[in-house]
A and B are shown apart, each in its own frame.
Chain A
Amino acid sequence: MIQLEGVTKHYPRSNRPSVEDINVFIDKGEFVFFIGPTGAGKSTIIKLLLREEVPDKGKIAVGDIDVTKLRRWKVPAYRRSIGCVFQDFRLLPNRTAAENVAFALEVIGKPRSVARRVVPEVLELVGLGGKEHRYPHELSGGEQQRVAVARAFVNRPLLLLADEPTGNLDPDTSIEIMRLLDRISRTGTTIVMVTHDSNIVNQMRRRVIEVENGQIVRDQSRGVYG
């Protein structure tokens, strides 16, 4: 599903590469944690997978798409096959939960009838049934992150990227979000999640890839935070 071969990324205004010669293969349906100290290069890997950044060296393939060779105008279509959640939720404050999810469908040209059918379904799936018409400021942090997950998943992407999705949440709420991601993982969706939360990693016992100074120092299936 995901293949990184000798990937190096050196930001122009940084004195060392943020990601250096990384080789990873992630199978379809896997659930992978990326852990490591701050500044290790985890978010950079997410950005490379999203094609927000391009590597200086190496090759990135997602599905059967060679992301490194992807033409600029094909990037939007590529991103439609990926869902993404972040620490800061990134919801539109002037739209309700349902409208936030519908927005993602609307702007990629899905007819309104599809949104009417799919949005309640996915909100139900993330456990927000009954709260569709609340605005983000009327929802708790955990609920807002559920909206973000619903938006990321509404197109049924094959790959879900999550950059510290529980970073702003208390431990109990974090566990709920992890249950949700676990459910999504069981549908066959590949999940790549960056986290600092040792409890979560230790409880889930999934593959753990540890990054330090832009390099992979550990890659362990059913691993722990360490």
Chain B
Amino acid sequence: MRAKYVMSEVFLGLWRNISMTIAMIITMAVSLTMLGSALLLYNQVDVIEEYYQTSLEVVIYLDPEIDEETTAQIESELNQSELVARTEFESKDDAWDRFQDTFKDSPDLVKTVNADQLPAAFRVKMEDIDKAPELIAQFQERDGVYQATNQKQILQQVFDILGGAQKLTLVVALVQGVAALMLIANTIQVAAYSRRREVAIMKLVGAPNWFVQAPFVLEAVFAGIIGALFAFGTLVAAKFLVIDGQFENLFSLMPKIEMSAVLMLLPILAGISAVISAVTAWITLRFNIKV
């Protein structure tokens, strides 16, 4: 009975102020989409890191003119280092095989490279890839070493790009979020004004405070959840159209964003949105309805 009254007041309130309701839902949706993207990127960094963690290595390329003695020395030094888990020697021939295999889809590229040009290398699995700089410092300047590279560093650039994108989406989410909260506060004020007669009578006859406040709070929560649904829809569409569609090739080198990660966002976004909307509405009411 009372629930029916509250619900009808909620929908009446949203309808009476429909342009504000739509504005509120749109800003909410944009903010939450950005927040959702930021969360996905955050999650994706973890996924990528885990994916590559086991295969990342330090590669020590050797001088083309290196003699066998120096090669053997370097190998034994590497094997003695406690930073190193395992080393694997890759001869010029191995390197050539690997190169041909990696670029088998681009025969033109393969043609331009001479088997001689590829250096022999030690591929070093680290105990801890984060200690790679230490190892590189030790071998960088050593005789017979042409160059020491850390694959983690290359990956780091990817992470930096993802991190930058994440910061950007977070900033947009925050700015839009503030706008959304201001719209909620405004909507609640308008609703409180248009329902002032009812509210005055309810307080006069002794309706409990929670009951007086419920329609307003639920109005905000409802708009917040609709906004979250739109944001979720946008993210799902983005996953199918952009990541799996248009830019499929771009993402082929790293693990895809999983559907399960996107699905997880629905309860998270809806929950965050509902709670923040409710709190904003409730605080606004404290200034607009004197008990």
Q: Which residues of A contact B (CB under 8 A)?
A: 50, 72-73, 75-82, 84, 90, 92-93, 103-104, 106-109, 111-112, 151, 155
**Distance, CA A112 to CA B1, complexed state (A):** 7
**Distance, CA A82 to CA B209, complexed state (A):** 17
Report which of B2, B197, B200, B291 forms a contact with A106, defined as CB distance below 8 A.
B2
Q: CB distance A107 to B211 under 8 Å?
A: yes
B180-210: CB near A (< 8 Å → 1, else 0) gives 0000000000000000011011111111110
Q: CB distance B2 to A109 under 8 Å?
A: yes
Task: Say whether chain B's binding surface is mostly helix, strand, loop, or mixed.
Answer: helix
**Distance, CA A24 to CA B169, complexed state (A):** 66
Q: CB distance A108 to B205 under 8 Å?
A: yes
Q: CB distance A106 to B1 under 8 Å?
A: yes
In the assembled complex, 29 residue pairs joining A and B whose CB atoms fall closer than 8 Å, in A order, are A72-B291, A75-B206, A76-B207, A76-B208, A77-B206, A78-B206, A79-B204, A79-B205, A79-B206, A81-B206, A82-B206, A90-B197, A90-B200, A90-B204, A92-B197, A92-B198, A103-B201, A106-B1, A106-B5, A107-B2, A107-B5, A107-B201, A107-B202, A107-B205, A108-B206, A108-B207, A109-B211, A112-B1, A155-B205
Q: For chain B residues 1-24, which have a beta carbon within 8 Å of chain A?
A: 1-2, 5
Q: CB distance B2 to A73 under 8 Å?
A: no
**Distance, CA A50 to CA B291, complexed state (A):** 12
B54-97: CB near A (< 8 Å → 1, else 0) gives 00000000000000000000000000000000000000000000
Report which of B2, B5, B198, B206 forms a contact with A76, defined as CB distance below 8 A.
B206
Q: CB distance A80 to B2 under 8 Å?
A: no
CB contact under 8 A between A107 and B291, given known A90-B197, A92-B198, A92-B201 = no
B195-238: CB near A (< 8 Å → 1, else 0) gives 00110111111111101000000000000000000000000000
**Distance, CA A217 to CA B108, complexed state (A):** 110
- Residues of chain B lying within 8 A (CB to CB) of residue A151: 205
CB contact under 8 A between A75 and B291, given known A92-B197, A106-B2, A112-B1 = yes
Least Cβ–Cβ distance between A67 and chain B, in angstroms: 14
Q: Which residue of the partner chain B has the closest CB to A110?
A: B1
Which of A50, A82, A92, A104 has its CB near the most chain B CB atoms (within 10 A)?
A104
Q: Which residue of the partner chain B has the closest CB to A81?
A: B206
Q: CB distance B2 to A79 under 8 Å?
A: no
Shortest Cβ-Cβ A-B pairs, 6 listed: A79-B206, A80-B206, A107-B207, A104-B205, A76-B206, A107-B202
CB contact under 8 A between A73 and B209, given known A92-B198, A106-B1 = yes
Least Cβ–Cβ distance between B191 and chain A, in angstroms: 16
- Residues of chain B lying within 8 A (CB to CB) of residue A73: 209
Q: Which residue of the partner chain A has the closest CB to B211?
A: A107
- Residues of chain B lying within 8 A (CB to CB) of residue A82: 206
- Residues of chain B lying within 8 A (CB to CB) of residue A109: 2, 208, 211
Extra A-B contacts (19), CB below 8 Å, given A90-B197, A108-B208: A75-B291, A76-B207, A76-B209, A77-B206, A78-B206, A79-B203, A80-B206, A82-B206, A90-B201, A90-B204, A93-B197, A103-B201, A106-B1, A106-B5, A107-B205, A107-B207, A108-B206, A108-B207, A109-B2
- Residues of chain A lying within 8 A (CB to CB) of residue B198: 92
- Residues of chain A lying within 8 A (CB to CB) of residue B203: 76, 79
**Distance, CA A73 to CA B209, complexed state (A):** 7
Least Cβ–Cβ distance between A26 and chain B, in angstroms: 21
**Distance, CA A112 to CA B2, complexed state (A):** 9
- Residues of chain A lying within 8 A (CB to CB) of residue B5: 106-107
Least Cβ–Cβ distance between A46 and chain B, in angstroms: 11
**Distance, CA A104 to CA B200, complexed state (A):** 11
**Distance, CA A151 to CA B202, complexed state (A):** 12
Least Cβ–Cβ distance between B8 and chain A, in angstroms: 12
- Residues of chain B lying within 8 A (CB to CB) of residue A84: 204
- Residues of chain A lying within 8 A (CB to CB) of residue B202: 107
- Residues of chain B lying within 8 A (CB to CB) of residue A90: 197, 200-201, 204
